[in-house]
Every structure is written in C-alpha cells, then in structure tokens.
Amino acid sequence: MRTTFASALVAVALVALLSGLGVRSWPLVLLSIPPLVFLALGSLDPPARPSLTATRIVSRDRLAVGMDAKVTLHVKNEGGPVALLECLDVLPPELAVIRGSNHTILNVAAGESADLTYTVRPTLKGEFTLGPFRARSLDPLGLGVEDVVVPTTTSVVVAPGIESLARASLGPRRTRPWFGHVPSRHIGAGSEFWGVREYVSGDDVRRINWKASARFDTLYSNEYQGERSGDVVILLDARAESAVGTPTGNAVEIGVRAALGVAEHVLESKNRVGLIVQRDVLDWVPPAFGRKQLYRILDHLIHVRAGGEWPFSFVAWVLTRYFPRDAMVVLITPLTDRTALESVMNLAARGYDITVLSPSPLEIERTLFAPNPQRETAYRILKMERENLVAQLRRVAQVVDWDPQTPLALPLRRMRTWPRPV
Amino acid sequence: MAETRVTAAVLWTLPVAAVLSLFAWAFVDFLGIPPVVIGEAFVGVLLSAFAATVLGLRFGRAYLRRIGLGLLVLTYFGAHLSFLPIDASASLGFLTLALFAIELRIVADRFVPLYAGDLRGEDRERVGSALQRSLIRVVAVSGVAFLASSLAADLALAGTLPVTTIPTALVLAAALIGVILILALWPVLERREMA
C-alpha cells in the first residue's frame, strides 16, 4: 500500500515537469528529478507483505489492581524476509506497560522468530483482552507499508482492590434461625452469658453454675445468648452521575472496593450477603453464605462500570420483591442527588435496617485541584449542603460520611450504634 | 536509559534542524527581493510558514508542520520565478533538503516513541540496527537524488557544476548505479553477514 507521501512525490514531480514545460524553464523541469529518484529507489525494495504467527503467554490470567503480569509474545515469520517490521501488541489503556515494550521494530529472516517481552500492571478492575497482534512492514523511505493483523487474543480478569474492615463493627441486627456470629437476644447455643435457671435433667454438666448451686443448695445451670446469622444486602449506586473523580479513582470504583470489603467482612461472620448494582442495568446476586458467594459477588463487581440514568427508586422495587424483608441494607452511594434521601426514607418506612456508606465526592474532587480561595469557599458551601443531607438521613439510617483518603474501617468503628439518635 | 533518551532527543532534533536550515536559506535568499508590494507579500507568506512550523512543533500538530513546509517550498520557488534568478544547483539542493527533512521526520516518528520508552538489551540492539539501516538509506537516497539531478542539469546545460561535462556525468552515473546496487543488495548482504 502506497502512502500519501508517495502520492505527494508524484504530484510534485508532475507539477514541476508540466509547469517547467509550460513556462519553458529547464531548471523547473529538473526539479521533477529528485522526487522521481526517491520514488524509483523506493520501488527497488518495496515492503514485503509479512506472513506471521504469534503466540502469547501471560504469567497469570487472574490479577488484582496493581499486580504485575509478565507477557511474552512469540512471533514467527512464516513468509519471506522482512527488513523493517514494526510490531505492536495491542493493549487496553487500563493495562500500563511498566517494563519492556509492547512496540518494537524487527528485522526478521524467513522462518526466524523473535520474542516480545514486557510487564503490565492493571490500573483498573475489569475483564481485558490483550491483542490482536499488529505488524507493519515498512519501507525505509516511507513510500509504502504492508499491514497484517494476527488475531491472537488473551483475556485477563482484574479484580478490584478490597477495603480492609478488620475490627469494624458492621453486621445485621435482625437474625434468622441459622447459627452464626450475631448475638440474637434469644437463649441458645453461644458464648455470651445470658442468665441462670434451675437445672433440668439433660443439661450439660459443664453448664452447671457451681457457685449459684452452692449458695442456694440446689443445682443451677447457665444460659447463653444464642448466636445466629442474618441477611445483608449491599446496594451499590453505580449510576453515571455517581462517577465523580478520575477513571481509576471515582466514587463508583471506590464504592466497588467498599462493597467487596463489606461482603467479605459480613460473610466471614457467617451471614448471608446479597448484592444489587444499579448501573445501566439493574443486576443482583441473591443472598447466600460462604466463600463461593464472595466469588459470585466479586465476579459481578469486576464488570461494574458507571452508567445509566435510572431513578434511584427503582432499586426499592427489586429489593422488596427479591430480597428478605428483615435484611440489613448497606447502601453505598456518593449521595450526589437528593432523591437518595427519599429512597432511603421509603426503604426505612418499609422496615429495612439501613446503613449508608457514602464516599464523599467533595473530598475526591478536592484532591484533584490545587487549592485557591474560590474553590475553598465553594467547598465549604457544598460541604454544608452535604452535612445537611447527611443529618436528614441520620434520622432514618446510620450514615458513614467517608473520606476515601482514609481506610473505611476507621469511620465504621466510629459509627453510632443503634438505637438511632432522635 | 539515559543513552536512549539522548538518541530520542537527537532523532527529534534532526528534522527540526533540517527545516530550520531551509528557513534560514530562504530568508537569506529573500534579502535580495526588491522592495515592492508583491515581494513583501512573499516575505509575509514565508513568516506565516515559519509561524505555522513553530506552532506545529510546539503543540505537536503534524498538519501545521506540513502546511509550514509546503508554504516554505512554494514561497521559495514562487519568489525565484518572480524576482530572483533561478540557480539550478541551489534549487535542486533546496528541494532535496526539503525531501530529506521529510524523510528524517518519518524516521523520527517511527523511532522516537521506541527510544522514549523502556528499551533494553536485545530490543535496543534490534531497534538500533533498524534505525541505522533507515538512516543510511535516507542519506544515500537523498545524495543520489541530488547527484542524479545535478547530472541531468550538467548534461542539459554543460557547466552547472564547476567541472567538465563528460567526467562529471561519468562519475555521477557510476555513483548512481553504485548506490542503487547497494540499496538493492543491502538486505541480502546483511542477512549473509548475520548467518
């Protein structure tokens, strides 16, 4: 394929020749020679059409954000020799090359092979495709190129980072009959002392309260608080308007990290966890126990991208129809609109126990710009509006106003305990 | 790492230096334009070409660079057709230098991104040898273009070059054939050497 430069050379030569003949100027006619020499010498060795095969080996196909993977692309020339072969292994912009290069120029003989080795580091969660492999046989004078695309692709899955919620207290208060780690305010099997009653036949000897028995001269047994489990539904607001910040550090991505942290923390306490994501579609994972459920939730969260303009109230529709009524709802939203307030009040009116985790969009945006007096004034006004909204929400729910610069466990530990303040 | 950065900087500078020398050449030539309105218009167009080139280089806009170079070549030859005497050797030299600048730009566009990245070990050797081959070809072809057109000028009007016609013609023809042979056989010779 000839380039525009080759066409330009032809045009210059023609113009010089015709205008020289037109005005009968031999120096002008001579000016047509240099471009013609370039064209003639360039056509002596035109770029050969490459015939290539490529095999890609990735050191790991499941990654986490910030984790490195080594990629080796083995390229073999199945055709004739190619003097200048420009090679590019096409990568999505979310995978940053941190060592080596996915772009090079080779000189390959017939049957010769070469390796392209580089290391990538994902900056964003998601499922990404490496490839295809593109090669271009170049003419050194830039007069022609021959392109070839080898359709070899490799998929890698990048999991989001996870917020550590170690020692944070977040779990359902309403329990179900299954054993778990949540004190249930019912007598049952557990480790927390509840009370003492008279011994009845069949009681475990280890439960006899010997001090009380000695004092009252009759046998007494200890009773314990039953530890059960409950349901938690994580509700992630991933609408387009919630994506405040950069592509890698916006409120939706931060919310995904928080949702994963909450899911892991709550599942570890032997509770059931479900997930609803509001993005360009409404999708959900029904509540279930265990490690497998964490992987199901992780799989859903990997594919979350901000999008959609749904009103927030649609979530309530899904929640009331497909999820248990006595579940604890953890709503993760940056609270960018006031309709969130109405939706939370609506859910609270239906009897849901609601906790709002809100990554502050103000703090996210504040880190992106250099401070100046106007921005500082705007920040203070917006902060007052947000505090007002949070104060109204605190009438019906527990609210964690979270600066994403700090670990989520910190504001969760400071969260006020139930009963809610009047 | 520092060495690759230096190579990238040199590669980026070469076409810029070639274009700036073309502008200097044109400005020096234009000093001889008589003070008439149309002559000042040519100087104005030349200044616009210079401005477009500088803006194109400053903001990385290829189309501005192309417009600048196109205007420069048109203005130079327009002025020579209108006011200034036409010197065949100088005109051929100017046009060849303009084509050489474009070729250097093509080489720089291909290789600067590679050198600006992380280029190590075997990759660096491969890219270095490819760059060497490209530069040799560009220099050789530019030289041949100038010599071949000078030969034609010499034959057309004996005395373009300050030597007698027949020996110049013979030397230039031999040089032309030699360079064409080298260009054609270069890849074959190189592969044999590597084997």
Q: pLDDT of A228-279, one tens digit each?
A: 678 999 999 999 988 999 988 899 999 999 999 999 999 988 889 999 999 8
> Rounded mean pLDDT of A159-182?
77
> Chain B within 8 Å of A111 (Cβ-Cβ)?
no
What is the model's pLDDT at position A364?
92
Residue A78 · residue A52 · CB < 8 Å: yes
Task: Give me the long-range contacts of B172-179 (CB less than 8 A, separation at least 24).
Answer: B172/B147, B172/B148, B175/B144, B175/B147, B176/B144, B176/B147, B176/B148, B176/B151, B179/A41, B179/B140, B179/B141, B179/B143, B179/B144
pLDDT of A91 over the 90 cut = yes
* Cβ neighbours of A84 in B, within 8 Å: 130, 133-134
Q: pLDDT exceeding 90 applies to what percent of chain B?
A: 41
The answer to whether B95 contacts A34, with C-beta atoms less than 8 Å apart, is yes
What are the angstrom distances between the C-alpha of B112 and each of A56, A187, A340, B38?
26, 75, 52, 41
Q: Minimal Cα–Cα distance from A25 to chain B, Å?
A: 9
At A265-315, the pLDDT tens digits run 999 888 899 999 998 888 899 999 889 999 999 999 999 999 888 777 778
What is the model's pLDDT at position A419?
46
Task: Name which of A5, A10, A23, A105 to mutate to probe chain B: the one with the most chain B Cβ atoms within 10 A of its Cβ.
Answer: A105
Per DSSP, chain B holds a count of helices (H) and strands (E) of 6, 0
pLDDT band at A346 (very low <50, low <70, confident <90, very high): confident
Q: Return d(Cα A115, Cα A87) in angstroms, integer.
A: 11
pTM value? 0.73
pLDDT of B55 over the 90 cut = yes
> Chain A within 8 Å of B130 (Cβ-Cβ)?
yes
Q: What is the DSSP string of B46-65?
A: HHHHHHHHHHHHHHT-HHHH
What are the angstrom distances between the C-alpha of A14 and each of A9, B7, B82, B156?
9, 37, 21, 19
> Chain A within 8 Å of B187 (Cβ-Cβ)?
yes
> Chain B within 8 Å of A110 (Cβ-Cβ)?
no
* Cβ neighbours of A112 in B, within 8 Å: none
Residue A87 · residue A70 · CB < 8 Å: no
> Chain B within 8 Å of A37 (Cβ-Cβ)?
yes
- For residue B155, the chain A residue with the least C-alpha distance is A30
User: Which 132-161 residues of chain B touch chain A by CB within 8 A?
Assistant: 133-134, 137-138, 141, 144-146, 148-149, 152-153, 156-157
The answer to whether the bond into A140 is cis (omega within 30° of 0) is: no
The answer to whether B126 contacts A109, with C-beta atoms less than 8 Å apart, is no
What is the model's pLDDT at position A53?
93
DSSP state of A245: B
What is the model's pLDDT at position A173?
75
Number of Cβ within 10 Å of residue B125's Cβ equals 11
What is the model's pLDDT at position B65?
94
> Rounded mean pLDDT of A95-123?
90
- For residue B109, the chain A residue with the least C-alpha distance is A142
pLDDT band at B164 (very low <50, low <70, confident <90, very high): very low
> Chain B within 8 Å of A288 (Cβ-Cβ)?
no
The answer to whether A33 contacts B148, with C-beta atoms less than 8 Å apart, is yes
pLDDT band at B161 (very low <50, low <70, confident <90, very high): low
DSSP state of A421: P
Number of Cβ within 10 Å of residue A232's Cβ equals 26
Q: Minimal Cα–Cα distance from B32 to chain A, Å?
A: 20
Residue A76 · residue A113 · CB < 8 Å: yes
Give every CB contact of residue B75 below 8 A, 6+ residues apart in sequence: B26, B42, B45, B46, B49
Give every CB contact of residue A11 below 8 A, 6+ residues apart in sequence: none
DSSP state of A406: S
What is the model's pLDDT at position B34?
77
Q: pLDDT exceeding 70 applies to what percent of chain B?
A: 78
Q: Which amino acid is at B10?
A: V
The answer to whether B114 contacts A5, with C-beta atoms less than 8 Å apart, is no
At A267-276, the pLDDT tens digits run 988 889 999 9
The answer to whether A142 contacts B77, with C-beta atoms less than 8 Å apart, is no
What is the model's pLDDT at position A118?
92
* Cβ neighbours of A30 in B, within 8 Å: 88, 91-92, 149, 152-153, 156
Q: Minimal Cα–Cα distance from B37 to chain A, Å?
A: 24
**How do strand A62-64 and strand A282-288 relate by DSSP bridges?**
unpaired
Q: Which amino acid is at A49?
A: R
* Cβ neighbours of A31 in B, within 8 Å: 77, 91-92, 95, 149
> Chain B within 8 Å of A104 (Cβ-Cβ)?
yes
The answer to whether A5 contacts B102, with C-beta atoms less than 8 Å apart, is yes
At A46-70, the pLDDT tens digits run 888 889 999 999 999 899 999 999 9
DSSP state of A250: B
Q: Return d(Cα B103, Cα B111) in angstroms, integer.
A: 12
pLDDT of A361 over the 90 cut = yes
The answer to whether A30 contacts B91, with C-beta atoms less than 8 Å apart, is yes
- For residue A109, the chain B residue with the least C-alpha distance is B191
The answer to whether B137 contacts A104, with C-beta atoms less than 8 Å apart, is no
The answer to whether B126 contacts A114, with C-beta atoms less than 8 Å apart, is yes
Q: Return d(Cα B114, Cα A101) in angstroms, integer.
A: 8
What is the model's pLDDT at position A422?
38
pLDDT band at A421 (very low <50, low <70, confident <90, very high): very low
Q: Is the dihedral of CA A360, A363, A367, A371 positive or negative?
A: positive
Looking at A8-12, A361-365, B18-22, which range is the least confident one? Answer: A8-12
Q: Tell me which residue in B126, B137, B187 faces A106 most closely, judged by beta carbons.
A: B126
Q: Minimal Cα–Cα distance from A75 to chain B, Å?
A: 14
The answer to whether A100 contacts B141, with C-beta atoms less than 8 Å apart, is no
The answer to whether B110 contacts A138, with C-beta atoms less than 8 Å apart, is yes
Mean pLDDT of chain A: 87
Looking at A2-16, A167-181, A190-204, A396-410, which range is the least confident one? Answer: A167-181
CA angle B146, B149, B153 (to 5 degrees): 130
> Chain B within 8 Å of A146 (Cβ-Cβ)?
no
The answer to whether B120 contacts A23, with C-beta atoms less than 8 Å apart, is no
Count the residues in chain B: 195
pLDDT of B163 over the 60 cut = no
Beta bridge partners of A130: A154
Residue A261 · residue A162 · CB < 8 Å: yes
What are the angstrom distances between the C-alpha of B51 and each of A46, A388, B38, B54?
36, 55, 20, 5
> Rounded mean pLDDT of B152-168?
60
